[in-house]
Chain A
Amino acid sequence: MIELVSDPGWELLEELNIETEFDIVKARQSVRQYAKDAGMGIVDQTRITTAVSELFRNMYMYAGGGVVRIQKGMYEGHPALVITCMDNGPGIDDITLAMQDGYTSGQGMGYGLPGAKRLVDDFVLQSEPGQGTSVRVAKWK
């Protein structure tokens, strides 16, 4: 698993495992609640929830699950919600290709990763074939 370093100033809100489709729903609901608690409006809540939904589903479908860390804290000078997804899956061979609209290595529509990136304020992806994939997204008001 590729560990993305956390800022020591961030507060850990919750750490969850994604193993089943039901876990995706639960984790997604948690994120929506934290976004609400952070004072985000309905549009921002929907955006971050949808973005992480794509990431959770990727972990579930391509890596058989993974770990989700929900944190809040200052991100590039903004009070933000930071969600990190890490898995032990096969990793992504060509990240540029994976970030292209309409490209999928599976059965999806191919809009998950690029779509998620457009829905959040910051998007960090690290992946090595055989080492897994880690994605961090941040959303601020």
Chain B
Amino acid sequence: MNSTTITNAKERIEHIEDILSSVAAGDLDLRIESEFEDDLTGVEQAINLLIDDLTHELKKSLKLKQEMEEKLMKIQEQQKTILQQQEDLMELSSPVSKVWENILILPVIGTLDSQRTQIMMENLLQKIVTTGCTTAILDITGVPTVDTQVANHLLKTVTAARLLGAECIVSGISPAIAQTIVHLGINLSNILTKATLQDAMIYALRKNEQLINGKVVLNQIDTDEPK
């Protein structure tokens, strides 16, 4: 019987231990070197192969980690952009335009949060003062949800405009929103409302007509008055 012989067994096992502890510490370039060919050689080669595999896997996961970090950075940048756009939108989305003599239109689109409503109200009141318009149409066709907060904001805006001598007309309340407002229990009867922007516009023009006619009458009275 040939008994297996392992040359320099003690030194070689110590060498294996050294290499393994170095690898465990992170040095993946080391491999077990041996000039002998015997039963231990298979073990040595197997360990070397394992280290190869480990190296490969580690590199792969490192690459993945890098990719994830890059993606995370991208997402964070996108979030920044979204926040920025939200802010931009907030400023852009409250245009008040004078569309006719005496008539302002404020189309409201999207969601009315407290910050936006504040800007909207300030813009509208400012414009009422600078243009001297006495009718303002708030068109909420583009507002998908009117809850108590939105209704409250509308009421406040209308009241503030009234204090400046302007009448507000709220237009664009959809049938679904009308029903919802009724169920919520909010009383909007203090606000003049019209179903569509067109109706509101017609109303405002009629009022304008009366106003202009009224002015004419006033002028006549003025001129008729003896000096």
Known: A49-B145, A50-B147. A115 touches B185 (CB 8 A): yes
CB-CB under 8 A from B183, the residues of chain A are 47, 115, 118-119
Known: A25-B111, A45-B176, A108-B152. A50 touches B145 (CB 8 A): yes
* A109 interface residue per 8 A CB criterion: yes
| Minimal beta-carbon separation of B187 from chain A (angstroms) | 9
* A17 interface residue per 8 A CB criterion: no
Interface centre among B144, B147, B186, by most chain A C-beta atoms within 10 angstroms, is B147
Contact call B179/A111, Cβ cutoff below 8 A:
no
- Complex Cα distance, B111 from A32, in Å, reads 14
| Nearest B residue (CB) for A118 | B183
Q: Mark each residue of chain B from 121 to 156: 1 if its CB lies under 8 Å from any CB of chain A, else 0.
A: 000000000000000000000001111110110000
Taking a contact as CB atoms closer than 8 A, the residue among B175, B184, B186 that contacts A43 in the complex is B175
- Complex Cα distance, B174 from A50, in Å, reads 14
* B118 interface residue per 8 A CB criterion: no
| Minimal beta-carbon separation of B224 from chain A (angstroms) | 50
CB-CB under 8 A from B145, the residues of chain A are 28, 32, 46, 49-50, 53
Of residues 158 through 186 on chain B, the ones whose CB sits less than 8 Å from some CB of chain A are 174-177, 179-180, 183-186
Interface centre among A21, A43, A111, A114, by most chain B C-beta atoms within 10 angstroms, is A111
| Minimal beta-carbon separation of B117 from chain A (angstroms) | 11
Contact call B180/A114, Cβ cutoff below 8 A:
no
| Minimal beta-carbon separation of A42 from chain B (angstroms) | 5
| Nearest B residue (CB) for A42 | B176
| Minimal beta-carbon separation of B81 from chain A (angstroms) | 14
| Minimal beta-carbon separation of A132 from chain B (angstroms) | 22
* A101 interface residue per 8 A CB criterion: yes
Contact call A111/B185, Cβ cutoff below 8 A:
yes
- Complex Cα distance, B179 from A134, in Å, reads 26
- Complex Cα distance, B177 from A49, in Å, reads 11
Q: Mark each residue of chain A from 54 to 73: 1 if its CB lies under 8 Å from any CB of chain B, else 0.
A: 10010000000000000000
| Minimal beta-carbon separation of A51 from chain B (angstroms) | 9
Contact call B180/A47, Cβ cutoff below 8 A:
yes
CB-CB under 8 A from B114, the residues of chain A are 21
CB-CB under 8 A from B176, the residues of chain A are 42-43, 45-47
CB-CB under 8 A from B148, the residues of chain A are 54, 108-109, 111-112, 115
Known: A43-B179, A118-B184. A50 touches B146 (CB 8 A): yes
Contact call A32/B184, Cβ cutoff below 8 A:
no
CB-CB under 8 A from B185, the residues of chain A are 101, 111, 114-115, 118
* B198 interface residue per 8 A CB criterion: no
* B86 interface residue per 8 A CB criterion: yes
Known: A25-B113, A53-B145, A57-B149. A111 touches B184 (CB 8 A): yes
Contact call A109/B146, Cβ cutoff below 8 A:
no
In order of increasing CB-CB distance, the 8 nearest A-B pairs are A115-B184, A46-B176, A53-B147, A43-B176, A21-B113, A118-B183, A42-B176, A111-B148
A residues sitting closer than 8 Å to B (CB atoms) are 21-22, 24-25, 28, 32, 42-43, 45-47, 49-50, 53-54, 57, 101, 108-109, 111-112, 114-116, 118-119
CB<8 Å pairs between A and B, sample of 5? A22-B113, A54-B184, A111-B185, A112-B148, A119-B184
Q: Assuming A32-B144, A53-B147, what are 13 further A-B pairs, CB within 8 angstroms?
A: A24-B113, A25-B113, A42-B174, A42-B176, A43-B175, A46-B145, A46-B174, A49-B144, A53-B145, A112-B147, A115-B184, A115-B186, A116-B184
